[in-house]
Structure 1
Amino acid sequence: MNQAKILVVEDEKSMNDILKLLLEGEGYDVVSAYDGGEGLEILKKDIFDIVITDIRMPIGSGYEILKGVRELSPETMVLMITAFGTTEDAIEAMKLGAYDYINKPFKIDEIRLIVKNALERRLLSREVKNLRSQVVFTFEKVAGKSKAIRDLLLSLPKVAESNANVLITGESGCGKELIARAVHNLSKRAVRDFIPINCAALPEGLLESELFGYMRGSFTGANSNKTGLFEAADGGAIFLDEIGDMPQNLQAKILRVIEDGSFRRIGGTKDITVDVRIISATNKVLKDEAAAGRFRADLFYRLNVIPIHLPPLRERKEDIPVLVDYYLDKNNASHVKFTQGAIDVLMKYSWPGNVRELENTLDRMLTFTDKSVVTEDELPEDIRCRTADTTAHPPTCAEFSDAGVSLDDILMETEKKYLLMALDKAGGSKTDAAGLLNISFRQFRHRLKKYGIN
């Protein structure tokens, strides 16, 4: 990173010299231009990691430099310099594709940090591009620059080559199903079906009939023969989400499928043989569950052939800017820019609902905001006001902002947090979680649906 090339376009010689000395002192290779025309000529002859340009210059404006960069080197990060009173120009430049802006007079540490962040963003973009070209696959919502995520993404092709069972662990909302889909989509089984089912969402009898199917007349309401999900996934993969909540008698049937690839439909007399890769996931520690007698130890060892752990978002906060960019692009909102201050606030929040909560927050903001540049003031009140400890108390703030607060938003976010906390405390059991909150199961289920919590 310390060999990065930076072009400084600034007509004030003293300011240009200061920036050059500062950046060279950080170990960067710096080239200076003293007007927009000279800067454009230099851009035509070389590729830079970062261009720092003043907006207003006698010859050629910063907007022309920005346009030239977008045409000549789209991956180059552009930082705009603005004097007092021209912040609106800088915001307009961000709308047109600039990474960030710097106010005059600027602080040395501010320049260092903005340049460092811009270089990290460029490096990450290059790594993701290289990684995707190697595996010929877009990792859906799986993105990040943290070591944990990069190591995980790099391991997925190897995991996919194997036919062994995979157990994915991690908190609710981390994206375990996305990892499971990535494993399947990279494998030779990708030409066949990937079938997910949430083992915690269905009663025992219904879960069994969904997994294994049934014969007509085997129970009340069985008016025809039904193919189970294991049959439907033959040749492909089945994803058993929240496997830790599966009743033990069904665990025995899953064990048989693993051991000899066969099972019987409910009410059936013939064994059905299938070739299915089992990918399972849980937010529980199955080894502890097995030791406590709540989960079959023999099944745990058969499922845990290839373990994958997905850390919570609070342990990989450097992934947040990447995820923000991804979701903006996915929602056709790449024109929306988050200031560094807004990103900093998002990174200070602990995200108890993990990636799912971040996505829901961004979706809500895109729905209700009409601004192209999002500052920290545009972020939800509870995220701005909460400290790192988001599990103990409802959101508080030392004082109201000038515009006041949205009480509805605060109450909604607080309710959602406690729903997730109750689910976590109850080990994923909706019935037990409802009891912890002193509401009925139906009320609890309604609230989960209201906030899109699976």
Structure 2
Amino acid sequence: MNHTILIVDDEESIRTSLRGILEDEQYAVLEAPSGEAALELLSTHPVSAVLLDIWMDGIDGVETLRRFKQQEIGKELNADVPVIMMSGHGTIETAVTATKEGAYDFLEKPLSLDRILLLLGRAIREWLLLRENRALRARIENAPAMIGTAPVMQALEQQIRRMAPTDGWVLLIGENGTGKEVAARRVHELSKRANAPFIAVNSAAIPEKAIETELFGREKSGPDGTTIVQPGRFEQSNHGTLFLDAVGDMPLKMQAKILRALQEQQIERVGGQQPIRVDVRVIAATNKNLEEEIAEGRFRQDLYYRLNVIPLHIPPLRERLEDIPLLVEHFIAMQQANMVQTRHFSAEALATMQNYHWPGNVRELKNLVERLLIMASGERIEPSDLPDFLYKRELPDVGQPWQELLEHNLRDAREMFERVYLQAQLDRQQGNISRTAEVIGMERSALHRKLKILGLG
């Protein structure tokens, strides 16, 4: 980026001297012989810093600084631009006054070349960082949340907003179809890497022989002796985010190479000889219990600890059934361009859909909405248009024959149900008691006591 510096001084010789110095350092330069001329320039020209003399004819430097900080015209162009004051008759009182008015620093004449360049470089770096942070904060505050108002989705959105601006690696845990890639993209778009690439890789969909080339790239000699380079996903996502989906299905041999790349932040292309530095934020996702995979020898423990810096649980649709109307509305909007006729779902149809268990989660819902938009005959989709499977009231398979409950009295049946239900919820949350308590709506201490009573604690 070619930074522009505005020099404000009523002595032409000083402006000429400073211009030569700054242009030698590849800065672009604007000049103003007075405070009034400077304010006019700043209203129409973006600059990266201002060198402002204090003692000038007309309005002096301090008054110019004051008006610059207050003026509305050009404010968006030059928000918080650092202003460095210059004076040949500097006093402590003058420097304090300028600082109170918002000056970045104070230089005494005769000016030191090294001091000017050092101060400008530091001031511009801090200004760029401030501008980047402000833009990131605005993006986070204004970005639309993930679809859903259920408590579990509100909690997830808060977690994402809190951790997205960091560079911490993330492990997304959730069933198939819950929207792990949607959550990963949400993290990326709220991060400081949002303007860099987001590259997604489905580890389960790539053949084992091809996954190393897919991730790290390849070098090979062409017919004319030149080197043909095929960049991999790590290089493609440099300075951005690499989303490793289905990481639990990655072969052990590849896990070791991924771990090394993450630890060293460098890769080697297949067939290449030189390491390549990469700056990548990794978000991994899995539908498996990786701790069980580690115990079975199918996943590396050191890779798990490397990836599991910030774990995020993506809730299944059955835990956020109140979000179904919002999701349906979203999927209808996505299909609007392909629809011959505008359609909507009746309240009764939505209520029926909210009574279903949704083993395929949001993906299953999306596919059903698309099918109904194509196949339904009327403008309004009614319960009669819904497929038969939505009316089945099958209990979730938790490994217990529910018919057996009918052979016991109410107290014993309730205890049996609680034991099966709580064990299933614990399994679903990978044994995390706090998260289980949140999902089922119990206090953690009460759940802990209940588990002990039932012999599950």
Query: TM class, shorter-chain normalised?
Result: 0.5 to 0.7
Match of 1:137 in 2: 143
Amino acid of the structure 1 residue aligned with 2:359: P
Match of 2:154 in 1: 150
Does structure 1 conserve the Cα–Cα contact (< 8 Å) formed by 2:317 and 2:358? Answer: yes
Match of 1:207 in 2: 211
Q: Displacement of 1:134 after TM fit? A: 6.1
Match of 1:346 among 341, 350, 353: 353
Match of 1:251 in 2: 255
Counterparts of 1:244 and 1:228, CA distance in 2: 20
Match of 1:233 in 2: 237
Larger Rg: 2
Does structure 2 conserve the Cα–Cα contact (< 8 Å) formed by 1:172 and 1:283? Answer: yes
Structure 1 residue runs of 4 or more that deviate by more than 6 Å after TM superposition: none
Alignment of 1:117-196 (within 5 A): 135-139=141-145, 142-196=146-200
Counterparts of 2:193 and 2:213, CA distance in 1: 25
Counterparts of 2:343 and 2:159, CA distance in 1: 33
Counterparts of 1:154 and 1:302, CA distance in 2: 23
Counterparts of 1:168 and 1:185, CA distance in 2: 16
Q: Displacement of 1:371 after TM fit? A: 2.0
Q: What CA RMSD, in Å, does the superposition of the two structures yield over aligned residues?
A: 2.4
Alignment of 1:421-440 (within 5 A): none
Counterparts of 1:341 and 1:368, CA distance in 2: 18
Alignment of 1:275-424 (within 5 A): 275-332=279-336, 336-384=343-391, 386-389=392-395
Amino acid of the structure 2 residue aligned with 1:237: T
Q: Displacement of 1:133 after TM fit? A: 8.8
Counterparts of 2:395 and 2:140, CA distance in 1: 40
Does structure 1 conserve the Cα–Cα contact (< 8 Å) formed by 2:140 and 2:161? Answer: no
| Pairs aligned (count) | 255
Q: Displacement of 1:138 after TM fit? A: 3.3
Change in 2 beyond 3 A, CA 1:145/1:388: farther
Q: Displacement of 1:375 after TM fit? A: 1.9
Counterparts of 1:296 and 1:158, CA distance in 2: 29
Structure 2 spans left out of the alignment, 5+ residues:
1-137, 399-457
Match of 1:86 in 2: none
Does structure 1 conserve the Cα–Cα contact (< 8 Å) formed by 2:220 and 2:227? Answer: yes
Amino acid of the structure 1 residue aligned with 2:273: T
Change in 2 beyond 3 A, CA 1:223/1:383: farther
Counterparts of 2:203 and 2:280, CA distance in 1: 17
Amino acid of the structure 2 residue aligned with 1:171: E
Q: Could you say what secondary structure the match of 1:329 adopts? A: helix
Identity %: 42
Counterparts of 2:375 and 2:383, CA distance in 1: 15
Q: Could you say what secondary structure the match of 2:367 adopts? A: helix
Q: Could you say what secondary structure the match of 1:200 adopts? A: helix
Does structure 2 conserve the Cα–Cα contact (< 8 Å) formed by 1:352 and 1:391? Answer: no
Counterparts of 1:304 and 1:365, CA distance in 2: 39
Deviations 1:231-266 (A, max 9, x none): 111100110000001111111111112212012111
Change in 2 beyond 3 A, CA 1:366/1:267: same
